């Protein structure tokens, strides 16, 4: 099964950071995409259609995606493991949960998972690490706002901080199985098939108020469940 994981902060001119203050949203220097541009992206790249809306949900923040997944899995509507297309300005994969990348495969250091995730708790910056640790994710494609990693903000705990594992791991871990992972340019990528479910995270800490006008635009392609 294939799941479309959208974050509203992807549809901006620049990457944003959390302001650190609950009541403060990013400023006017961050400009949202126009509604027609968002529609073109959803229809051309994601292969969404207004005629066949995808079952999904709008949530405030990405940590709520875990509860959505858990509910779908619990009712047997979402079979695990499932493919995830993560369209977001940020990777949302904390390496403090024991996550690292070897030869295009995301792997979990099982010894670090309990301590790493329990200390942090599940939040918007590590929910994908949690889902991988649970064995829910079959493969992961991340479409960042910018094409290359060097263009992205360096955030402590991002999966890209662990792209090169310690030397001691490289030989021993290379043969292990894991979750296939790749980063793709959003203007070159195209969905390989229809999505079974989708979610939209509003992420107010990472989006200016002007971005809110895009929520109903995206929701037109979604059947709320």
20 exposure class (CB count in 10 Å sphere: 0-12, 13-18, 19+): exposed
Q: What tens digit of pLDDT does each residue of 156-200 get?
A: 345 555 444 444 344 334 445 688 988 888 989 999 999 999 999
C-alpha span between 126 and 128 (Å, rounded): 5
| Better-predicted residue by pLDDT, 157 or 24 | 24
Residue 139, CA distances (Å) to 13, 82, 104, 105, 145 in order: 28, 7, 11, 9, 20
Q: Tell me which of 20-34, 71-85, 202-216 is least confident.
A: 20-34
Report the domain count for the chain: 1
Give the pTM: 0.82
- In the predicted model, what is the mean pLDDT of residues 82-107? 80
Confidence of residue 155 (pLDDT cuts 50, 70, 90): very low
β partners of residue 142? 86, 183
Residue 70, CA distances (Å) to 21, 151, 192, 216 in order: 29, 33, 25, 25
Which residue segment(s) compose the domain that 55 sits in?
Answer: 2-224
């Amino acid at each position: 099964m294939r799941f479309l994981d959208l974050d509203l902060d992807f549809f901006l001119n620049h990457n944003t950071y959390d302001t650190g203050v609950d009541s403060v949203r990013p400023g006017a220097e961050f400009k949202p995409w126009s509604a027609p541009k968002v529609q073109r992206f959803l229809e051309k790249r994601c292969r969404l259609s207004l005629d066949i809306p995808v079952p999904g949900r709008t949530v405030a923040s990405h940590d709520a995606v875990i509860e959505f997944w858990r509910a779908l899995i619990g009712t047997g509507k979402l079979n695990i493991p499932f493919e995830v297309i993560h369209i977001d300005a940020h990777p949302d994969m904390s390496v403090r949960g024991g996550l690292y990348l070897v030869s295009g495969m995301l792997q979990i250091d099982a010894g670090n998972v309990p301590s790493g995730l329990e200390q942090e708790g599940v939040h918007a910056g590590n929910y994908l690490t949690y889902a991988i640790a649970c064995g829910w994710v079959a493969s992961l494609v991340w479409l960042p706002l910018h094409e290359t990693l060097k263009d992205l903000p360096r955030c402590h705990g991002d999966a890209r901080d662990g792209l090169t594992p310690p030397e001691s791991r490289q030989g021993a871990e290379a043969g292990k199985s894991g979750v296939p992972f790749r980063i793709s340019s959003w203007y070159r990528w195209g969905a390989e098939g229809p999505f079974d479910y989708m979610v939209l995270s509003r992420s107010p800490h990472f989006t200016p108020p002007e971005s809110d006008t895009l929520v109903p635009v995206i929701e037109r392609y979604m059947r709320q469940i």
